[in-house]
A and B are shown apart, each in its own frame.
Chain A
């Protein structure tokens, strides 16, 4: 959904010594990322969802999920990954994450409790599920922030043409 005209410099992203050695051309890295990325993504989701019962939580899981996207962006190029994840979807996601957190808090208020008083919500095991949903909300915010920081750094300050994209 993002504008098709990304900055010209996007595909010149490189981690090598010279500006003319794009990292995207390594078949070893591309093959490795293709195999490893789903596992990293799953680990991130596990850490996010299972944080209530083991080490982890929304902040850690969100970062790991974001890292999976970073991996893909490094292996297959920042530009294509940026087009694959539409800008409006990322913006919608980060707002959704915060809305989820606040929504749970306000749902408790609507049920007659205090803000974020999970037990006030008239659902079985509301505390457990409320905490899980809050963790997911945190995870979404953190993962989109990590991906957004990465894309913003990769793009630099050059392209003004993205301003017209609706959010």
Chain B
């Protein structure tokens, strides 16, 4: 791990703790946006720029705006405290959950290992070797997304579409704007 990676991890951990502990909801939302931005950098460091771009745009951008809009419509209790009072039971349950999940960490291959199931899979190598000649796009992620798994992606697009239509139905409105 390089110093940059340690710094980003510390930033992500710090902003996550701030999100959970800050009393003011506005401050908590800002900390959450910082957390999303940190996670986006983590994706970038893991050589997944497509995922990082999504995290930065959706997590740090749109989600934050929607949260801000929500609290602008609600009432926030005034308080002079900077942090919330930690509920020890909830903190204990959280710690237990983290400990349970952490037991699976040893099963994961090291980052960048050449012997992971993904890197050695026949499918992966097929995509890397044939994606350009078969689909004429240079980004292998896009080739898989739009060509090899095009039907799945259509499903994803329909899910987003359905979310919008569902929202209109729930709000009982006929138009978008």
Contacts and interface: CB of A to CB of B under 8 A. Distances in A.
Interface residues of A, number: 68
Contacts of B160: 141-142, 145
B53 A149 contact: no
Q: Which secondary structure dominates chain A's binding surface?
A: helix
Contact of A56 (B53, B73, B161): B53
A35 interface: no
A125 B136 CA distance: 7
B65 A152 contact: no
Given A60-B50, A141-B161, A145-B163, A102 B154 contact: yes
Nearest to A66: B62
A149 to B, nearest CB: 6
B24 to A, nearest CB: 10
Interface string A70-84: 100010000000100
Contacts of A134: 146, 150, 153
A165 interface: yes
A144 interface: yes
Interface in A118-158: 118-119, 125, 127-128, 131, 134-135, 137-138, 141-142, 144-154, 156-157
B174 A135 contact: no
Given A90-B177, A145-B163, A116 B150 contact: yes
Given A131-B137, A149-B167, A87 B147 contact: no
Interface in B105-138: 134-138
Interface residues of B, number: 48
**What is the predominant secondary structure among interface residues of chain B facing chain A?**
helix
B177 A87 contact: yes
Contact of A13 (B66, B72, B150): B72
Interface string A85-106: 1111011001001100110010
A138 B54 CA distance: 14
30 contacts: A52-B139, A52-B146, A54-B139, A57-B145, A64-B61, A85-B177, A88-B175, A90-B175, A94-B161, A102-B154, A105-B150, A105-B154, A125-B136, A127-B136, A128-B135, A131-B135, A131-B137, A131-B142, A131-B146, A131-B147, A134-B146, A134-B150, A146-B62, A148-B177, A149-B164, A157-B171, A160-B173, A162-B175, A163-B175, A167-B175
